[in-house]
Every structure is written in C-alpha cells, then in structure tokens.
Homo-oligomer: A and B are copies of this chain.
Amino acid sequence: MAAYDHPAPATFELTLVLRALADPARLEIVRHLARVGEANCATLIGTRPKSSMSHHFQVLRDSGILRTRIEGVQHRNSLRREELDTRFPGLLTAVLNVP
C-alpha cells in the first residue's frame, strides 16, 4: 500500500475541519488519539464495521486532523496537533477540553 496524501497546513479548510469533527464517531476517534498518541485502525474500531471506520479515517485525514503512517500491515494514526494549531490556534484544544 502506498503512503497516504496528507494536506499541507496552508490548505486546511475550516469548514472541512469542523465538519470532520461534527460527527460522534470521528470525535471519539480524535479523543482517543489525544489520549493514546498513536493507534492503528483496528484498535479504534468499536461496534462499527471496518468499512465505516475506514471512511471516517479518510474524512479526518483529508481535513488535516490526523496523519496515517504505514508500518507493515498496520496503519498508525495520530493527531496533527501542532500543524492544526498553527493553522487554527486553539481549535483542537478547545474541542478536546470539552468533557
């Protein structure tokens, strides 16, 4: 599998990021990653099927919220905190601070 395309911070779009965060499943993924730092997809799958989760990861990736690093057969995801904070200061922090 070839590496993913990740958008550059300069091309992040606020509405895309907000839309990506405005979904319970994706918000859960983001919160989990904030706790554990890095995780592969399987770890983050709850009751939803793989294909649904794969879709959510793509939405998060395309908006710039997370990056996916391929390590063998696993895809390791982590938040792009610094880059996101550079482009949208305080946004991700505010979202993550909500109980």
By a beta-carbon cutoff of 8 Å, the part of chain A in contact with chain B is 14-15, 18-19, 21-24, 27, 87-91, 93-95, 97-98
Chain B residue at smallest Cβ distance from A12: B98
Q: Chain B contacts of A23 at CB under 8 A?
A: 15
- Report B-chain residues with C-beta under 8 Å of the C-beta of A90: 90, 93-94, 97
Asked whether, in the complex, the Cβ of A22 is within 8 Å of the Cβ of B15, the reply is yes
Q: Known: A18-B18, A19-B22. Is A98-B88 also a contact (CB below 8 A)?
A: yes
Given A18-B18, A19-B19, A89-B94, 20 additional A-B pairs, CB 8 A? A14-B27, A14-B95, A14-B98, A15-B23, A15-B24, A18-B21, A18-B22, A18-B95, A22-B22, A87-B98, A88-B98, A89-B97, A90-B93, A90-B97, A91-B91, A91-B94, A91-B95, A91-B98, A93-B94, A94-B94
